Amino acid sequence: MSRRLMGSRAGREGAKLAHSLITIKAMKDGRKEPMSTSVTPPPSKQKVRLPALASALAYGLAMVIAFGVLGTLSGGNARTVSYTEFKQMVRSDEVQSVVVTASHIRGTLKKAGQAIAVIRVEDPALMGELDQHSVQVTGELATNWWSPLLAWLLPLALLFFFWSRASAGLGAGQGALAFGRSRAKIYADDDVKVTFADVAGIDEATEELREIVDFLRHPKKYTDLGARIPKGVLLVGPPGTGKTLLARAVAGEAHVPFFSLSGSEFVEMFVGVGAARVRDLFAQAEERAPCIIFIDELDALGKSRVASPLGTHEEREQTLNQLLAEMDGFDPRKGIIVMSATNRPEVLDAALLRAGRFDRRVVVDRPDVQGREAILRLHARTVKLAADVDLKVVALRTTGFAGADLANLVNEATLLAARRSRGEVTIVDFEEAIDRVLAGLKRKRVMSASERERVAAHEAGHALVASVLPGVDPVHKISIVQRGYEALGHTLQVPSEDRYLRTCEELHHQLAVWLGGRAAEELMFQEVSTGAQNDLQHATEVARAMVAEYGMSDVIGPVTVMTRPRTPFMPVPGWEGSGTAAEETSREVDLEVKKLMTEADETAASVLRAHRTTLEAVIKLLLEREVVEGDEVRRLLAIEMRPALLVTSVPPHVDAA
């Protein structure tokens, strides 16, 4: 059943491909009449009947073999009797004649000529008894004609059967030899409905690509001036920022055929298949020029080649060599644009990035606050929003979100509203959706009263230190609701604006915020717990970067003694970098990191001791409500929406109280 479904699917894909080719050819011939979207099936005499023929041959062969075996075993219409019964018949003079073979004995009875069949047993005395009772004995050389037939025809039948199945699965007109054909999905000029109107938040990248669209629409304007459009455009950026969507929008705006495939589709275990698919892809593109070839996840195909004195014959490298040759070989005046997307440009081969191949790089970065608002409005066009929903406020609270994250956020909020049987999506649904995306789903685990109070003190410590010290992101929400994999609570800080730089003082204060939860536990319970493990990890990473990368240590000086991997869009979590510093320098780095962490811990403890009354009030609110807004913490501190500089600097070892 699964094979039949696959075959029918391949037929439908073949029909879509046929319609695309008809549409393209109509445009090339200059016909203006619209092409019908239906595809007339081929005449019945042209239909492929290989699977039916193979099935008929297999069934026929099986029937012939079965009849031969049954005829040999049963001996026609003879009645089968046991060997003991047969010998009794011989002794009773009931048997007239027998035919002896290597495995059977067929006999004829004197009474009405009835036939019997017996499985032969090694019995040396049988021939003497047959001669004694005057039974006519005839020998027969058994010929199992079906055995050699089975040995010769069955492998051929099976080979033909699976060959025909493979041919049918690949689609009509392709056959098993199409293994090296390109697997790109081909969209005709009218099939791509995405335009720049469906793209938001990446205006700089969109403007860069409008020139490509104009060239595909009006190539003569550029070729008359002797201009050469870039052969390749590389879209780089973090995951989920809309690189694939942007490539489809270029094809939709230019109204040209669009070839879409992934870099991993070129890589196969068979030698030469990837290179053959590259050649076939560019051959098809030249037939349909002008067009766009889009290769997603280019890093799966274009990784840097290994430098080896013995050389290498890795299949992926041979495929990459073929891609380099094809990009050099086609004429840019034909209007073939190769667009690729990757979030790991640092691993791509240098020959792939040189001028003449991927001439232009377009960075598709995470959107700023205005871009996030535009993306939210784009995805909320079909959503019924309540009057209290301000998408600008939602954009401010989603710093660092990519386009895919924002689309998921709108969908999560809509699902929450539907689950609660609301007619509109409210701001409460968006707040819950943000918590889901950032911290995970709620967990309904029973926590003891003592642990619950400790978690409340921990989160209140974070919030209070962040509300007092200047230069850190303001607190938006404090929660002791368990979410995600390990989070027993969380304090959400939302920047009031997009930040790209941090000063040394701001980083010092951020370290104190991370250690505020641990300091609050120590202040309220005179001991710490394992709940600060994640805070210590983040704080230590930032402190080490301050000393070894940012040059913010007077002891180490303005030098970099640690380097991180060049992964601007795909950072390696938990990787602390490596360096070539001397052993003594590394020891000084460790001492400076410890000094920063100790100072931050003392700063947090000083702030909490100075505002212990407010700390206890926030803990009480958390135990009552489980969720406290940042405004309430600031109200308890008698400050306005934006925290005033109550404490400009708390020196280490000094109690602010």
Distance of CA 523 to the CA centre of its chain: 46
Query: Can you read off the two tokens belonging to residue 444?
Result: 């309904």
Contact assessment for residue 120 and residue 103, using Cβ atoms and an 8 Å cutoff = yes
Contact assessment for residue 285 and residue 326, using Cβ atoms and an 8 Å cutoff = no
**CB atoms < 10 A from the CB of 247, how many?**
26
According to DSSP, the residues that pair with 5 across neighbouring strands are none
Distance of CA 498 to the CA centre of its chain: 30
Which of the following is catalytic: 459, 521, 522, 592? 459
Dist. CA 319–CA 273, nearest whole Å = 8
Dist. CA 194–CA 243, nearest whole Å = 13
Query: Can you read off the two tokens belonging to residue 49?
Result: 């009947």
Contact assessment for residue 615 and residue 460, using Cβ atoms and an 8 Å cutoff = yes
* Residue of 466, 517, 516 lying closest to 496 (CA atoms): 466
SS3 323: helix
Residue 272 amino acid letter:
G
Contact assessment for residue 107 and residue 116, using Cβ atoms and an 8 Å cutoff = yes
Contact assessment for residue 467 and residue 634, using Cβ atoms and an 8 Å cutoff = yes
Dist. CA 483–CA 492, nearest whole Å = 13
Dist. CA 607–CA 68, nearest whole Å = 97
Contact assessment for residue 464 and residue 605, using Cβ atoms and an 8 Å cutoff = no
Dist. CA 377–CA 650, nearest whole Å = 44
Dist. CA 618–CA 612, nearest whole Å = 10
DSSP string, 347-396: GB-HHHHSTTTEEEEEE-----HHHHHHHHHHHTTTS-B-TT--HHHHHH
Contact assessment for residue 509 and residue 643, using Cβ atoms and an 8 Å cutoff = no
Bond prior to 643 in cis (omega within 30° of 0) = no
* Residue of 624, 623, 641 lying closest to 632 (CA atoms): 641
Residue with tokens 């690729």: 340
Contact assessment for residue 601 and residue 543, using Cβ atoms and an 8 Å cutoff = no
Contact assessment for residue 406 and residue 241, using Cβ atoms and an 8 Å cutoff = no
Dist. CA 372–CA 392, nearest whole Å = 8
Residue 515 amino acid letter:
L
**CB atoms < 10 A from the CB of 49, how many?**
13
- CA 566 to each of CA 569, 572, 575: distance values in angstroms, whole numbers, following the listed order: 9, 10, 12
Contact assessment for residue 87 and residue 102, using Cβ atoms and an 8 Å cutoff = no
Residue with tokens 């049918």: 168
- Catalytic site residue 459? yes
According to DSSP, the residues that pair with 98 across neighbouring strands are 107, 137
SS3 175: coil
Dist. CA 139–CA 117, nearest whole Å = 15
* Residue of 292, 296, 312 lying closest to 304 (CA atoms): 312
Catalytic residues: 459
